[in-house]
Structure 1
């Protein structure tokens, strides 16, 4: 019994010592971790300069959240957030500080080109048709390539058609896109997330490409991938003696349009991003043509304009800042949206109209060619 009692006391003492050692080790481990964290924070903060709010920004939408990582000309990575709430938050890959930003810059120099065709304008095209399209919409691109996008010379003037896409979302899709471009040499790809809420970014990248890669062109057109274009009629408009060669933009004009404040609408824009109740007169984004001096000026104006997700209205606000009003077409009926009765309508007289599918683009094209 005495031996057992002595053995038990000895074990208890050893347990106390072990527990003491464990507690001491745990305290030292926590202290070491906290010390390393403080050192890392001080070191990281000392190496990160104060961010200029003019170099990055976030947009707000009402339904989803998109994180958009970009790399600017300086090589610094930037994140654009499309948030579900009304708080505008700035975020960088180095740190995430919730700081309200009151000035934003919608400027395409935040992006670079993954696929590019820098020599396409070496033949001095008179007209450049730029088609924003989703990376996966191969059928739409092929329909255009086999119809109006295949015209390289109209009324003796050189015409160029290019497709602009954003990120594909995966290596397999990217490889397919690159193989497609090797075949057709008509794709321009930039490193933004390709989504509906980024259409303003997409349009500004188009403007930047035109300004930097093709300033010698006379006219350009931003035209959606679901559009039928009668390039012959478009060229007749551009060659008319009364068509201006500078500060000119025309298409389907939108007058006196209210800003949508209903958060359930995909066209919703907050007062923070656009405080006025109505947009200035702008040209419907499905297809508008402009003199090629405008892209550079629009990009410049965008430096001081808050971006919002209604891309055609945003271009309209940039034009208003430049003191430029969209022009009414000599025959406004040539710029159409959907046709109620495409079979009974004379397609040979239109410049633009919306097709309901790639197949219908081909049908419209064939119909006009048959009646020539």
Structure 2
């Protein structure tokens, strides 16, 4: 009788141990499961959001009459025409089962206009270039004629003099020329907030750039397509009615000339 009770007790303890071990394993596996993913903050997702970009060059018909088994997507600099041609003639020679597309960004200044024209001609010839342009965001956005290599003038007689005591750094952060710029409505309040922490210097446009640096906002150069001409001309530009009709500002006109130019521009620029 006693032996029977002992055997039953051992079985019960064994079963309890198995149940406890099973529960532990299940609990451990549940605790190690991948946590529920959370979406990226909007400012981060904007970098990969397809709606952030629009195409300048696209190839919507390359797969209209074919279904390639393998697509090569090759990121390459806009200026690397020789590299693209070498790839076309070697490993990427497209057949019925493969297709190669080159993905390029915007050419760097100052070769923008000439290089863009060459890209468009290359695209017409080979139909294998995809080029995209980032759309302007609706917030944290400022654009104009961006100055990236500004340095403080240390000559006391200079109109733009800034002393080392006032601004000890050797260069300015990127900023937009004070001749004129455009920014999103939300940025006004943010610049005002940042100004509480940025020492004032007697250069309005540079000062705004210092506030932008504190906010982590980079100004965007404004240009027109397809020739990437600056929309904010901060130099004296020879008057041409149709050229001026495509710009946001033109700088450098004295009052008498401005009055003469405006009479012609106001009555006929819509015909351009």
For the criterion TM > 0.5, the same-fold answer is no
TM-score, structure 1 as length reference: 0.33
| TM-score, normalised by the number of residues in structure 2 | 0.45
User: If you compute each CA radius of gyration, which structure gives the higher value, 1 or 2?
Assistant: 2
Specify which structure has the bigger relative contact order, considering alpha-carbon pairs within 8 angstroms and separated by 6 or more residues. Answer: 1
